[in-house]
Amino acid sequence: MQASVIRGGTPLEDERSEDASWGDPPSLSTFVFLQATGRKLQEKIKILKLVADSGELTMITENRYKIAQEAERTSHIRKKDINILDRRLSSAQKIVLPYIQQIENLINKDNFSVVDVGSGPTCLARFFKSPHKTYVDPLMDFYQEYYREKLPVANNSTFVASMAEKMPFPSDSFDVALCYNMLDHTFKPANIVAEIKRILKPGGYVLLGIYTHGPILKFVRTLAEKTVIFKEKPHPYSFTIGNVISMLNGEFLIRQCDIRKGREIPFDFKRRFYVLILQKPAHGNKA
């Protein structure tokens, strides 16, 4: 595989894992979402109701993060089916391709750079037409060994073994960041949001995919997290949409917010998968 490999630092070495909470999400009038309709892309003003969706999110400990990472690694080995990656890739591709095309149209240039934050072995940034792609994951060394024939093969691919909370890139390095279904696997999600903003160029775009839960389901999952038997080891966090908005507040402009799986009902018991297009403000502007 002709690609360079970088190994980044880890914030676990120099940060204490103190408990902390994010506050309630902003008022309903703060956020205006532009939602795409079914037949064609139309900008439609919509206020996403956050009633009863304002639960706080408590940071996990360093040990809990390590349990999540080990559970993620062993889950790939335990399935003993390397073709499962093809199925996951095909499923995710159907969701992300329309948004990738939208972002490419917004950028409107050929020579742009993409960073896939928490890429996992699927490496969805492979579908961008960018000539410069970087894939970041703390388990990248394992993925390169276990999925050697499945990872993107290209001279313009760089693979980085690093936590997303502290990535080894200068500020304002990338035009686009992809962050797909990974924040609930991490150590400090809010730090990752800030770090993505740091490495993104002013005016750059983020394609964010994230699972959320209604407040009741989040409460149940939070109780399960406190047990040994019932906790979902690879996923230490359960987000409400309010938690997500709180993380993004002041960091990015929300250009689009779509629900791809589930419904917009505060008290349902199903997961909802949101896809958002975000933009880093230009120099001197605020989100």
What does the pLDDT look like over 103-160, one tens digit per residue?
999 998 989 999 999 999 999 999 999 989 999 999 999 999 999 888 998 778 999 9
Instruction: Give dist(CA 58, CA 133) in Å, integer.
Output: 33
Handedness of CA 220, 221, 225, 230 (dihedral sign): positive
Percent of the chain with pLDDT over 90: 47
Q: Give the per-residue pLDDT at 13.
A: 46
Instruction: Give dist(CA 78, CA 173) in Å, integer.
Output: 37
* Least confident among 101-105, 221-225, 246-250, 256-260: 221-225
Backbone dihedral angles phi then psi of residue 189, each to the nearest 5 degrees:
-60, -40
**Of 38 and 81, more confident:** 81
Backbone dihedral angles phi then psi of residue 222, each to the nearest 5 degrees:
-65, -40
Task: Give the position of tokens 């410069």.
Answer: 132
User: In this predicted model, what pLDDT tens digit does every residue of 93-119 receive, in sequence order?
Assistant: 999 999 999 999 999 898 999 999 999
Q: Give the per-residue pLDDT at 10.
A: 53
* Domain edges within the chain: 54-279
Beginning with the edge strand found earlier in the chain, give each strand of the sheet holding 4-7 in spatial order: 4-7, 157-161, 132-137, 113-117, 174-180, 200-212, 272-279, 253-261
Q: Give the per-residue pLDDT at 136.
A: 98
Q: Give the per-residue pLDDT at 52.
A: 34
Report yes or no on whether pTM surpasses 0.85: no
Contact in structure between 261 and 273 (CB atoms under 8 Å): yes
User: In this predicted model, what pLDDT tens digit does every residue of 206-215 receive, in sequence order?
Assistant: 999 999 888 7
In CATH, which of 3.40.50.150, 3.30.365.10, 3.40.190.10, 3.40.50.300 is domain 54-279?
3.40.50.150
User: In this predicted model, what pLDDT tens digit does every residue of 204-238 receive, in sequence order?
Assistant: 999 999 998 887 888 888 888 877 676 788 888 88
Q: How confident is the model at residue 24 (pLDDT cuts 50, 70, 90)?
A: very low
Which residue type is seen at 9?
Answer: G
Instruction: Give dist(CA 167, CA 187) in Å, integer.
Output: 14
* Least confident among 2-6, 73-77, 253-257, 273-277: 2-6
How buried is residue 45: exposed, middle or buried, by Cβ count under 10 Å (0-12/13-18/19+)?
Answer: exposed
Q: Give the per-residue pLDDT at 155.
A: 75
Q: Give the per-residue pLDDT at 66.
A: 93
Q: Give the per-residue pLDDT at 7.
A: 60
Is residue 12 predicted with pLDDT exceeding 60?
no
Ranges assigned E (strand) in the chain = 4-7, 21-22, 33-34, 45-46, 57-58, 113-117, 132-137, 157-161, 174-180, 200-212, 253-261, 272-279
Is residue 280 predicted with pLDDT exceeding 70?
yes
